[in-house]
Amino acid sequence: MLVLGKAGSAGVGKGVLPVLRDDVVVATLRASTWKEAATAVVGDREWVLARRKRELTGRWAADPEDTARLRARQTSFWKGAWEADLEGTPVQAEVVSRWKGGHRYRVGGRVVAETGTTGGWSPRPTLTAEESLPLDHQVFLLWLALVMGRRDQAATTAAVTGGAVAGSS
């Protein structure tokens, strides 16, 4: 299982999130606080992860800017469904639980990965995946879980704030 660690922990630099497997750093992620963008380092390869129009994309840093080796887009807001393309492999994502969150990723009907969160006051995304899924793809799905979590948090905050403002007249 991959766990997105706390920034600056596990021997990585300040502002860098370690991607941990069994408490060992297997990749790093430098995620933007304000934009849906990040830089991931997996082995000796650097990935640029970003939102482009209605898609979240991933490309090698050496690729031209319009390249997308990895893609994901939300297909249903209400169902929380997503579709992804991981270097030519189509993947469907569905919500595991409305209460607990997380997504289940399927390739041809077979579950290849599932996201969740750690417990506690500051939950962090986790990813449990088949060994056949390349680490680069696992890190992309973990970043996708981070983006989805931030979107959910923003929607909850907006609903609470909007309700408080609407009810305060």
The residue ranges of every structural domain in the chain are 2-166
The DSSP secondary structure of 40-87, one letter per residue, reads: EEETTEEEEEEEETTEEEEEETTS-TT--SEEEEEEETTTTEEEEEET
Beta strands 24-31 and 89-95 are unpaired
Distance, CA of 134 to CA of 157 (rounded, Å)? 35
Express the helix, strand and coil content of the chain in percent, nearest 5 each. Answer: 20, 45, 35
For position 96, what pLDDT does the model report?
86
Buried/exposed 149-158: b ≥16 CB within 10 Å, e otherwise: beeeeeeeee
Averaged pLDDT in 10-residue chunks for the chain of 169 residues: 93 94 96 89 97 95 96 89 95 83 91 90 90 96 88 68 57
Which pLDDT tens digit goes with each residue over 8-46? 999 999 999 999 999 999 999 998 877 899 999 999 999
Q: What is the pTM of this model?
A: 0.88
